[in-house]
Amino acid sequence: MLSPTEENYIKSIFHLSEDGQKEVSTNTISDEMNTSAASVTDMIKKLALKKLLDYRKYKGVKITKKGKLEALRLIRKHRLWETFLVRKLNFSWDQVHDVAEQLEHINSPLLVSRLDEFLGFPTVDPHGDPIPGNDGKLPVTNRKSLAEMELCTMGTVVAVKDSSSLFLKYLDKIGAVIGSKIEVLDRVDYDGSLEIEIDKKSRVFVSRDVADNIMMV
Amino acid sequence: MLSPTEENYIKSIFHLSEDGQKEVSTNTISDEMNTSAASVTDMIKKLALKKLLDYRKYKGVKITKKGKLEALRLIRKHRLWETFLVRKLNFSWDQVHDVAEQLEHINSPLLVSRLDEFLGFPTVDPHGDPIPGNDGKLPVTNRKSLAEMELCTMGTVVAVKDSSSLFLKYLDKIGAVIGSKIEVLDRVDYDGSLEIEIDKKSRVFVSRDVADNIMMV
DNA sequence: ATATTTTTTTAGACTAATCTAAATATTATC
DNA sequence: GATAATATTTAGATTAGTCTAAAAAAATAT
């Protein structure tokens, strides 16, 4: 059994390592979690002892198979709860994150499976992110960011990388939500910003940063 | 803001004091919470500092108005979640307690009010206990225990005092659930056990302990 | 390839919640 | 009302998670 704190570390490390592929440094983790590097060193030692991380002094950590499974279990719970909040309790997509951060630590396998069933076995959450199965398997997708799209091609918004309230409210404002069709009209090479057309109606400029956080298919 | 631990103390003390009326001793609390008396002394000092308890050395504690409100807020959440688990996720009434113990510590006023709305503003939980309102108000009821009923009188089960899985499974087994009509046929003065008839069908003997934990109207 | 900067780890300390054992107060008993 | 029994508090220690400051290792720059 992991404490909520340990769970938060595992989840952050999983995300920072791009789903467990890359090594992650102590400072990268301390930045993400707003803690001191010293605290991170202590915790990664503990998680390494529990075989959730491979740790070599001064070399950062890599998440193990066991660690990945733990992370995916948490992500599954997080995304199921987000789906519940939006679909059943009428939360908007920018209101769910903080509550789901709390709910994901509730420990009850029965609750998770019943929630999954109650929601009709959803495959993606309200931000378009895939929901891992009970076995930790994630469906493979060939998504790319809006920033990577070619000029004059059209795509559909399927997910967002940043789930912060600020970003989601901005998307609501410009009318870019999941399912929106976007065409890239022009790209400014200087800063990577784009002119786009949303749903054949409105034309707006978005920054490189914004384009990086919108996932298309 | 209270920690989950502080919340558990406040809730236990509220229940032990019969909704805040009586004083509660240190040992009573440590028994209920399975902790040492020393831990209780530390914690009640802390809660007294936060004005949730009135504490006089060696004299036990009495819950304050502020403490009562906090307890009722928690009981409200607990009972709303139990209702959700039974009505929406098909939990049985003996499966909900432990999960609700976890869920009641989730902190989100919006979540509570939306859940309440989603459930159609329920007034009692699956064990028949009243759900406090947002203002902490509890509807007054004139219930009495099965043990207190007079011979040859009939009543309806409206609630249970003990929500343990063991007790609830026993009730399921003898066919006594919320809404059942029970008539007291005979009382053994020696040990207070009763012979009862449930729903005009089955006759069973129940111990004094069981009869104390079934609430009738 | 040495010096400087940056990153990481260690050392030592703090808080919350817990414990056991010892001390002290209250209650019960004779 | 003195003494024994019980209840409560204090003292001191432990664990998880955190911190700052100092030491050590690694990376970078001159």
| Contact residues on chain B for A103, CB-CB shorter than 8 A | 106
> Which protein residue has its CA closest to C1' of C19?
B36
What are the angstrom distances between the C-alpha of A110 and each of A106, A114, B85, B99, B166? 11, 6, 11, 10, 19
In a domain, A136, yes or no: no
Residues B56, B93 within the same domain: no
Q: Which domain holds residue A45?
A: 4-63
Q: Residue A175: which pLDDT band, with cuts at 50, 70 and 90?
A: very high
State the average pLDDT over residues A11-17.
97
Q: Which of B101, B114, B116, B117 to mutate to probe the A interface, most A CBs <10 Å?
A: B114
**What residues contact residue A80 under an 8 Å CB cut-off, 6+ apart?**
A112, A115, A116, A119, A122, A125, A131
Highest mean pLDDT among A131-140, A183-192, B54-63: B54-63
Q: What is the pLDDT of residues A79-132, one digit of tens each?
A: 999 999 999 999 999 999 999 999 999 999 999 999 999 999 999 999 989 999
Q: Count how many domains chain B has.
A: 3
How far B105 CA lies from chain A's nearest CA (Å)? 9
Are both B191 and B154 inside the same structural domain?
Answer: yes
Shortest Cα–Cα distance, A138 to chain B (Å): 25
Co-location of B85 and B58 in the same domain? no
Q: Under DSSP, is residue A148 helix (H, G, I), strand (E, B) or coil? A: helix
In a domain, B137, yes or no: no
Q: Which of B216, B122, B131 is nearest to B176 (CA)?
A: B216
Q: Which amino acid is at B201?
A: K
pLDDT digits (tens, 9 = 90+) for B98-137: 999 999 999 999 999 999 999 999 999 999 899 999 999 9
Q: Which nucleotide is nearest to B38 (CA to C1')?
A: D9
Please give the residue of chain A at the shortest CA–CA distance from B88: A118
Report the CATH number at residue A205: 2.30.30.90
pLDDT score of A157: 94
CA distance A84 to B38: 42
CA→C1' distance for A34 and D5 (Å): 54
**Do residues A151 and A212 both lie within one domain?**
yes
Its ipTM equals: 0.86
pLDDT in tens, B62-74: 999 999 999 999 9
Distance B203 CA to C27 C1' (A): 46
Quote the pTM value.
Answer: 0.86
Task: Let me know: does B80 contact B112? Beta carbons within 8 Å.
Answer: yes
Same-domain check for residues B148 and B208: yes
Cβ burial, residue A201 (10 Å; 0-12/13-18/19+): exposed
Kindly state whether residue B23 falls inside one of the protein's structural domains.
yes
Is A133 inside any structural domain? no
Question: At residue A141, does pLDDT exceed 90?
Answer: no
Give domain status of residue A69, yes or no.
no
pLDDT score of A139 more than 90: no
Tell whether B9 and B43 lie within a shared domain: yes
Determine the distance in angstroms separating the CA of A10 from the nearest CA of chain B, rounded to an integer.
21
Q: Is A92 on the interface with B (CB under 8 A)?
A: no
Q: What is the domain-level CATH number for residue A41?
A: 1.10.10.10
Query: B201 with B165, same domain?
Result: yes
- Assign B48 a pLDDT band (cuts: 50, 70, 90): very high
Q: What is the mean pLDDT of chain B?
A: 95
Instruction: Specify if B130 maps to a domain.
Output: no
Q: Are residues B58 and B85 in the same domain?
A: no
The answer to whether residue B200 sits within a structural domain is yes
The length of chain A, given as a count of residues: 217
- B196 CA to centre of own chain: 24
Domain for residue A165, yes or no?
A: yes
